[in-house]
A and B are shown apart, each in its own frame.
Chain A
Amino acid sequence: MHITVDRDLCCGSGNCVETVPDVFDQDSRDGMVLLRISQPPEHLREAVERAAQLCPVGAIEISHRNSTD
């Protein structure tokens, strides 16, 4: 699983940080999303998918391609 975030779209709601603090963070300067890890372990998949669904602006993209290829 590979995640990308669009900081231009992000409106700093913090939902992703609330949902998976191990993966998402907010920049202390502007409150916009930051990734702690872009290839989170498989056991976080469900939580990451939930974060993407809850993002109010659709700024979180999960690509399902195998990260080892």
Chain B
Amino acid sequence: MGEVASVDVTAFPAFPFIGSDDDPFIPVRDYDLKHLDESTGRIRLPFGGWAWLITKHEDVRQLLRHPGFSSDQYRPGFPVLNPIPPTREGASGLFIFMDGDAHSRFRRMLTAEFMIKNIRRIEPLIEETVNEALGRMREIGPPADLMNEFALPVPSMTICHLLGVPYSDHDFFQHHSRAIMDRNSGPAEVGAAMEALNGLLGDLITHKRTHPGEDLLSRLVTERVIPGELKEEELLSMAMLLLVAGHETTANMIGMSALALLEHPEHLDALREDPGLAPNLVEELLRYCTVVRTGLPRLALEDAVIGGREIKAGESVVAMLSMANRDESVFHDPEFFDPRRNEAHRHMAFGFGLHQCIGQPLARAELRIALVQLAKQFPGLRSETTLADVPKRHEAVTFGLGELPVTW
């Protein structure tokens, strides 16, 4: 007989793991790794039950490509990692949590929008946004909080440009999207901010019916909503998904990247001399920081074998991106930050399989432009904080810094 049906979860390490307080670049502490060994790779979930933690690069690839696993948080038994609203109300376009045809119906309406050749078109707007934020940071400081002045505003302004939010509403958008990810916001404040953004985007969608522009919302209104292929509420919920999925992730990547470069000033100098280093540097930063630290939860709908391990229908798994990105069978000396490593692009910071981040060309462009301009415009940039002191957002959905004090 194999495994017995009842499992004592109290011996399994509690998940999500809390990363190291000494060093934001250590995603999983030795303490948790040791426990994981003892539990043969099983973790205790925050809202009850347990899951297999999939940590090897090849196994994560296999899992995220496997058609037998669901992303639908509303299925009974799904390994939910963050509290979710009790109903699907307002979630009609959140295709990140959908499977099969429902998922591809929405995703296919957006793929062309995020194609590299279309992102190239908004690169000048990203550059303008980056320069404005850096200009403001220079006025305020030194010193200044790089998270607040730079890392947070750049992605939310970029999403404004993408969606077609008019300049006059940028401050409103910025204010409320920041409240959503502020660690001091309680559930009521987050709810109010979501409501405010829903109102703004809802009005904008109505306006674009009669005044379409050159932007994502206008195109979807004209090509999908008016012909009756897409409901207005579905578009609204999709727009909120783009905001939520594209803001905190990118902001935390900009902050962590800046810290990594301040820790390794020789790479900041090299980037200033040769912006052509940016693309590979960005891939290595994505690998090394892996801000989606909780990994990606999935529910098995059928029996499957992943990495030689039998997973039964109804069991839960979590694809641990941060550990796959430090798998030494793929990444030579994985704890070492090496912007010149030529296997950097094999990281899975954007996931893998059908749900792989649709915003990755945009995220890459933002990171590239933000870091090159930061290096160029602030040649004397430094930080007096230490890896141990810098505030860390361990409890957030995507990992990042609470603050990054810099001077120049």
Contacts and interface: CB of A to CB of B under 8 A. Distances in A.
Interface of A: 11-15, 17-19, 26-32, 50, 53-54, 56-58
B107 interface: yes
A45 B104 CA distance: 31
Contact of A57 (B110, B111, B116, B354): B354
B112 A14 contact: no
B111 A11 contact: yes
Given A14-B360, A26-B117, A56-B65, A31 B353 contact: no
Given A26-B117, A57-B65, A11 B356 contact: yes
B346 A54 contact: yes
A30 B358 contact: no
Interface in B60-98: 64-65
27 contacts: A11-B104, A11-B111, A11-B353, A11-B356, A12-B107, A12-B358, A13-B356, A14-B115, A14-B360, A17-B116, A18-B116, A26-B111, A27-B112, A28-B112, A28-B117, A31-B108, A31-B110, A31-B112, A31-B113, A31-B114, A32-B108, A32-B111, A56-B65, A56-B352, A56-B354, A57-B353, A58-B65
A18 B286 CA distance: 16
A57 B351 CA distance: 11
A18 B350 CA distance: 14
Q: Chain B interface secondary structure, helix, strand, loop or mixed?
A: helix
Interface residues of B, number: 25
Contacts of A54: 345-346
Contacts of B352: 56
A33 to B, nearest CB: 10
Contacts of A57: 65, 353-354
Contacts of A19: 345
B354 A11 contact: yes
A17 B115 contact: yes
Contacts of B107: 11-12
A18 B114 CA distance: 12
A57 B104 CA distance: 13
Contacts of B117: 26, 28
Nearest to A11: B354
A30 B108 CA distance: 6
Nearest to B103: A11
Interface string B103-142: 0100110111111110000000000000000000000000
Contacts of B111: 11-12, 26, 30-32
Contacts of A56: 64-65, 351-354, 356
B351 to A, nearest CB: 8
B119 to A, nearest CB: 9
Contacts of A13: 356-358, 360
Contacts of A18: 116, 361
Nearest to A56: B356
Contacts of B361: 14, 18
Contacts of B353: 11, 56-57
Contacts of A58: 65
Contacts of B114: 12, 14, 31
Interface string B13-51: 000000000000000000000000000000000000000
